[in-house]
Amino acid sequence: MKVLIVYAHPNPQSFNHAMLEALQHGLHKAGHQIRIKDLYDENFDPVLRASDLERLQSGEVPEHIKVEQDVLLWADSLIFLYPLWWFDRPAILKGWFDVVFTNQVAFAFNDQGVQGLLPHEKAVVIITAGGSEDYFKHTDAMPLIHRPVTDGTLGFCGIKDVQHKIYFDVPSLSNDERQAILDDIRQLGQTF
């Protein structure tokens, strides 16, 4: 399978980066072809400019957007890995969706309304959170964590099999607990 990992964390020494490496190892071990979009490392520009929107609306895809869409459409499946910031994804990842998931590529409007166009078999959203699971459950915030990406973006754009994994209390975990997460992520890659 061809798997695109879209990764959004600014610190290459972070635990999220260790998770990326574990995921990459598991996917390679399973024989998948992978590409990684490390948005911060690439210095991805997350702003959809008015001039780009105008060109898109006239049917012309700017080259820098087409390059990103070609990478997206290369993959059979998608994995997103990022920290939870303000109950959502980092702005650079939100911007990547804004720039890449355009009308006529990710979705289209027709007589029945909106039609999702993405052909991917599945997507997995992996999120790290600094707060406890109890906190999110007791504040009714749990759906806010994953739904903007799982339902609001990926499901909307036609991917039927969208899963999520959320790891809580990441800053306060012991080394053994962190190792267990890395083992889990590696296993996810091997069974993807």
Pairing of strands 2-7, 77-83: parallel
Beta-carbon neighbour count of residue 54 at 10 Å?
11
Place of tokens 């759906």: 143
Residues 86 and 36: beta-carbon distance below 8 Å? no
Pairing of strands 161-167, 122-128: parallel
In whole angstroms, what is the distance from residue 117 CA to residue 108 CA? Answer: 7
What mean pLDDT, rounded, does the chain reach?
96
pLDDT digits (tens, 9 = 90+) for 50-70: 999 999 999 999 999 999 999
Using a 10 angstrom Cβ sphere, with 0-12 exposed, 13-18 middle and 19 or more buried, the burial of residue 73 is middle
In whole angstroms, what is the distance from residue 74 CA to residue 98 CA? Answer: 19
Q: Residue ranges of the chain with pLDDT lower than 50?
A: none
Question: In CATH terms, is domain 2-190 a member of 3.40.50.360?
Answer: yes
* 147 CB-near residues (< 8 Å, 6+ apart): none
Q: Is 0.85 surpassed by the pTM of this model?
A: yes
